[in-house]
Chain A
Amino acid sequence: MSSNSQKKGFGATIWDYLTTVDHKKIAILYLISGGFFFLVGGVEAMLIRIQLMKAGNDFLSAGTYNEVLTMHGTTMIFLAAMPILLAFMNAVSPLQIGARDVAFPFLNSLGFWLFFFGGVFLNLSWFLGGAPDAGWTNYASLALASEGHGIDFYSLGLTISGFGTLIAGINFLVTIINMRAPGMTYMRMPLFTWTTFVASALILLAFPPLTVGIFFMVFDRLFGANFFDVTMGGNTIIWEHFFWIFGHPEVYILVLPAFGIFSEIFAIFSRKRLFGYTALVFATILIGFYGFMVWAHHMFTVGLGPTANAVFALATMIIAVPTGIKIFNWLLTIWGGSISFTVPMIYAVAFIPSFVAGGVTGVMQAIAPLDYQLHDSYFIVAHFHYVIVGGVVLAILAGTHLYWPKMFGTMLSEKLGKWTFWFFFIGFHLTFFIQHFLGLMGMPRRVYTFGADQGWDLFNAISSVGALFMAIGVIILLVNVVMTVAKNERVGNDPWGDGRTLEWAIPSPPPFYNFAQTPLVRGLDPYWIEKMEGNKEGMVYAEPLGDIHMPNGSFIPFVISLGMFIASFGAMYFMDDKAWALPVLIGGLAITFGSMLVRSLKDDLGFHVTKEELIADNERIQREARALEGGKKGGLK
């Protein structure tokens, strides 16, 4: 089993990835599928911008526009941003705390496959009679009236992928609490691990409300319940509450890991310890905590009454305080540092003003009376794109460049990376800055077209040009990825030259058991400490070399998820009185629970990597490292 170094055929590689429980390979799976959905969501964004390019455009029909807009939001949030962040969490945070793997490798794989099949199910709606069309928030009054199966694809698909995300969140919580290497106290954890931890706690607490809401939605639409149907004594506002009790923490689930990635970048490329590490940690926790007390600011105009609006407005403004603390700490980390403007650092520096702009418009909207004016206008669209693109997507692009060598062992081209950055960054501001003014001029969001006499033509045209720039940036990134993979120039442990945390102390990509010996952590930024003290190996060890117990791969997570995927079709067509619907529903669930049963009854004790194999593997690693140093120098310096 430990013959990981030998070359494998194509089929064997595919099988390896289908059955893997290794957090590094699951990270790659998350990155590829999240990246794919990012492209799908990007194409949908381009369709939106083409439609709104000029007044009275008929490129998309009104109905199709609603579908494209709904799927753009849903895909980008649930199937692109979150999985790509989960990719980095998987790839990096177990390494940062010196762990062999996550606490539950099997569940890690299950989480991925559930997300994957949920996402595929959701996107199959395009080919099976129409996508969801009630907006990514899926407000019940709209959703219950929607014809066809679009909304059912939404609710069932998100149920499945939501299970996956919840499993991933719990897994990271347990991993970070229990599997830190000796000496890795909470206050020595790298900031990316901290933000992973808090984001996972938010996943744990925020996804159940969404699951409950979606369950009600499924029952209302498919099985004749009336939770949200006002004419039958239900309450349509309850969906909005459930959705935003989940939805607001979701924003922080996305942006906290983004903050984590940027915190790592600022420290690495300023060659300084993070300024105010403790403050950053507590700001992270506070943001997570406040995140649950602000959801009704999405619902100011629902008519909750002045008291509720005032309470939630105040809570919302308070949340700007810890975020501000973070901004100043980053600025002071850069201050006086020995800065190198690599691609990740450029993204990080560009992130600060972009995100602050999004934060400031957020505080504007927290003022309830002003929000009555801004609500449902393009100002809102501009605001949340500044937060999500200016915060999360910039972090994803920066993280892709930063962690690419650790995940794949090669460096993305810095030159092409800079081209991507400039196209994307200029395009982003061109697209969304002007939308603030469109909003102030009265353009409502979610409209499929506008009239030539409304005076919005020029600004919309500019916005569409910006979107084109972003698309060019992403295409250059793809070219960059293809060229990097084709060239395949291997790099060493610490390709950036200034790594500070444990993941840079081991080979890129790391061996499948991560650390041959569990490291001993002697302070914040352990690898930096060892380097500064002249330790050539970059690590001190907490244990002697011994056999390592590793989990076996398993195909069962794939089958469990496939069963739920099949069952969803049965559940969805059940209300159409299709004869095959019920057997498919039962059959799918039988596959799921049957495979769970197999998993429970069959003992799978894993395998051991023996000491001799470790020594042999270590010699191979040393040999490769020497070859790398002798030949062309990989990495940045």
Chain B
Amino acid sequence: MAHDTHDIHRSRAEFEFIKKKRAAEMRGQLTSFAMMIFLTLIAFTLVAADFSTYLIVPIILLLAAIQVVLQLYHFMHMSNKGHGMMAFFMFSGMFVAFMTIIAMVTIVWW
């Protein structure tokens, strides 16, 4: 419980370190942005090229999953420190949702 705000004084080394870290983060964001564009292109090409639906749907779902992970880790800062618990709960939620869907698909609708 912080009661009041603090002034932050950084040493030269700290400043350099943060600068470097931010540059790396920016690089990560740009790379994943490029990858996302590329993934979207693949998706559109698949549809435009008129492949079988049974090929297109699973591939697009897979691309979507990759995109979600990129989004979470590079743009929503889950790669930063202190996000362990959050990641744990998100993945548990995904796990439960996945179990539900798998069960519904295999034993109710199949």
Contact = CB atoms under 8 A, between A and B. Distances in A.
A292 B102 CA distance: 13
B92 A238 contact: no
Interface stretch (B39-47, B54-62, B93-101): B93-101
B47 to A, nearest CB: 30
B3 A241 contact: no
B100 to A, nearest CB: 6
Interface residues of B, number: 15
Contact of B1 (A201, A305, A308, A518): A518
Given A177-B85, A292-B99, A547-B3, A205 B93 contact: yes
B106 interface: yes
Contacts of A201: 89, 92
B108 A241 contact: yes
A173 B90 CA distance: 13
Contact of B96 (A292, A304, A305): A292
Nearest to B106: A308
B30 interface: no
Interface string A530-572: 0000000000000000110100000000000000000000000
Q: How large is the interface on A (under 10, 10 to 19, 20 to 34, 35 or more residues)?
A: 20 to 34
Interface string A143-165: 00000000000000000000000
Contacts of B103: 241, 296, 308
B3 A546 contact: yes
Contacts of B92: 201, 205
A327 interface: no
Contacts of B107: 296, 304-305, 308
Contacts of A209: 100
Interface string A84-115: 00000000000000001000000000000000
Interface in B61-110: 85, 89, 92-93, 95-96, 99-100, 103-104, 106-108
A468 interface: no
A293 interface: yes
Nearest to A242: B100
Interface in A298-349: 304-305, 308
A235 interface: yes
Contact of B108 (A177, A237, A292, A546): A237
Contacts of B93: 204-205
A181 to B, nearest CB: 10
Nearest to B1: A518
A189 interface: no
A245 B100 contact: yes
B104 A241 contact: yes
Contacts of B3: 546-547, 549
Contacts, number: 36
Contacts of A241: 100, 103-104, 108
Nearest to A518: B1
A176 B17 CA distance: 33
Nearest to A237: B108
A235 B109 CA distance: 9
Interface in A513-535: 518
Contacts of B99: 292-293
Contacts of B104: 238, 241
A5 B93 CA distance: 45
Nearest to A546: B3
B84 to A, nearest CB: 10
Interface in B1-18: 1, 3
A318 B101 CA distance: 22
B109 to A, nearest CB: 8
Nearest to A173: B89
A557 to B, nearest CB: 24
A235 B108 contact: yes
Nearest to A292: B96
A100 to B, nearest CB: 8
A405 B74 CA distance: 51
B108 A204 contact: no
Nearest to B3: A546
Nearest to A179: B1
A546 B99 CA distance: 50
A205 B106 contact: no
Contacts of B85: 177
Nearest to A303: B107
A296 B99 CA distance: 12
Contacts of B1: 100, 518, 549
A293 B100 CA distance: 9
Nearest to A209: B100
Contacts of A296: 103, 107
A204 B100 contact: no
Contacts of A549: 1, 3
A588 B93 CA distance: 32
A192 to B, nearest CB: 20
A238 B107 CA distance: 10
A163 B32 CA distance: 38
Contacts of B96: 205, 292
Interface in A191-228: 201, 204-205, 209
B66 to A, nearest CB: 24
A204 B106 contact: no
* Most A CB within 10 A of own CB, among B1, B85, B93: B1
A523 to B, nearest CB: 22
B90 to A, nearest CB: 11
B15 to A, nearest CB: 29
Interface string A225-265: 00000000001011001000100000000000000000000
Contacts of B89: 173, 201, 204
Nearest to A304: B107
Contacts of B95: 292
A304 B110 CA distance: 11
A498 B106 CA distance: 54
19 contacts: A100-B1, A201-B92, A204-B89, A205-B93, A205-B96, A209-B100, A237-B108, A238-B104, A292-B95, A292-B99, A293-B99, A296-B103, A304-B107, A305-B107, A308-B103, A308-B106, A308-B107, A518-B1, A546-B3
Given A177-B85, A209-B100, A238-B108, 16 more contacts: A100-B1, A201-B92, A204-B93, A205-B92, A235-B108, A241-B100, A241-B108, A245-B100, A292-B96, A292-B99, A296-B103, A304-B107, A308-B103, A518-B1, A549-B1, A549-B3
Closest 9 CB pairs of A and B: A205-B96, A308-B107, A304-B107, A292-B96, A177-B85, A245-B100, A237-B108, A205-B93, A292-B99
